[in-house]
Amino acid sequence: MLVLDGIPAVRNAVRAARDDGRTIGFVPTMGYLHEGHLSLIDRCRELADLVAISIYVNPLQFGPDEDYDAYPRDLERDLELAEDRGVDLAFTPDDDELYPESPAVAVTPRRLADRLCGAGRPGHFEGVLTVVAKLFGIVQPDVAVFGQKDFQQSVLIRRMVADLNMPVRIEVAPTVRDPDGLAMSSRNEYLSSGERERALSISRGLAEAVRAYRSGERHAGSLVAGVREALERAGGVRIEYVDCVSSEDLEPVQEAGSDAVIAVAVHVGGTRLIDNVRLAAPDPGLERLISG
């Protein structure tokens, strides 16, 4: 595995692969890799000849009161996991490499970013889209793989690529969960065992919503109320939002159709956690909770 922290070196490696007729796949991450990230790498391997990842905690997407400094980092371990999983190239820039000076130009979403996570994290998606656009400009992948776990992010990235005519195919892979149902996240590291127990109410609530949907419930208000009840039952879970939206335009729906997603953000102790489920096509990791 090539480990490169400079932009020109990445460009050279990618150009050489392309000259050999190989296609380029890309998985951007903030590191502290877990099985969720690694599943994206596996998917990328199915879609491209060269698999590149980036490991970079992007300061632009953190608000002033958020966990940028505390965000877990372990580059050595990440590189071992990536190499074991067959990654060909890991791009590990530092801040000076990506932002040699304060950027004068950014990618600002006009719609879709003012709701769900965007409502509570102003500027977050501008930071995400700007760094992803930069990384696409550096790696120039044919395909890039993102996780359904960050549902709103995946919708915005698809729109960025469509609206700015970026020549990259976007793939979205299912959320990977721990056996108890908790969606994997680098931030789960922050949870005490008691907090983790309370956090399980998120996946339980989503599973209940899928059960209700399968029994014929289509009223979004009732589905959302069921999730809220599960979260409130757990105690110590502060709800930021629970919404039932269309996966096309993120608009709240009254009736949950085949494209409806229930998306959740909560705070457990000092940790912000998000999760979501497509009611008509839940990720396989939720199935045990749904039928259990």
Q: Could you give the residue numbers annotated as active site?
A: 37
Q: Is 282 in the site for ligand AMP (CB under 6 A)?
A: no
Q: Is 167 exposed, middle or buried (0-12, 13-18, 19+ CB in 10 A)?
A: exposed
Q: Is 130 in the site for ligand AMP (CB under 6 A)?
A: no
Among residues 25, 118, 141, 147, the one that binds ligand AMP under rule CB under 6 A: 147
Among residues 185, 203, 271, 276, the one that binds ligand AMP under rule CB under 6 A: 185
Q: Give the whole-angstrom CA distance, residue 79 versus residue 11.
A: 20
Counting other chains too, the contacts that 9-16 makes at CB distance below 8 Å and 24 or more residues apart are: 10/52, 10/89, 10/91, 10/138, 10/139, 11/138, 11/140, 13/89, 14/50, 14/52, 14/89, 14/139, 14/140
Q: Is 261 in the site for ligand AMP (CB under 6 A)?
A: no
Among residues 4, 25, 29, 116, the one that binds ligand AMP under rule CB under 6 A: 29
State which residue, 212 or 275, has the beta carbon closest to ligand AMP.
275
Q: Is 116 in the site for ligand AMP (CB under 6 A)?
A: no
Give CA angle at 99 (136, 51), nearest 5°.
30
Q: Give the whole-angstrom CA distance, residue 24 versus residue 28.
A: 13
Q: How far is the CB of 151 from ligand AMP (least distance, A)?
A: 8
Q: Is 125 in the site for ligand AMP (CB under 6 A)?
A: no
State which residue, 36 or 118, has the beta carbon closest to ligand AMP.
36
Give Cα separations from 199 to 31, 185, 206, 237 (angstroms): 22, 12, 12, 7
State which residue, 150 or 212, has the beta carbon closest to ligand AMP.
150
Q: Is 156 in the site for ligand AMP (CB under 6 A)?
A: no
Residue numbers at the binding site for ligand AMP (CB under 6 A)? 29-30, 36-37, 39-40, 146-147, 149-150, 173, 175-176, 183-186
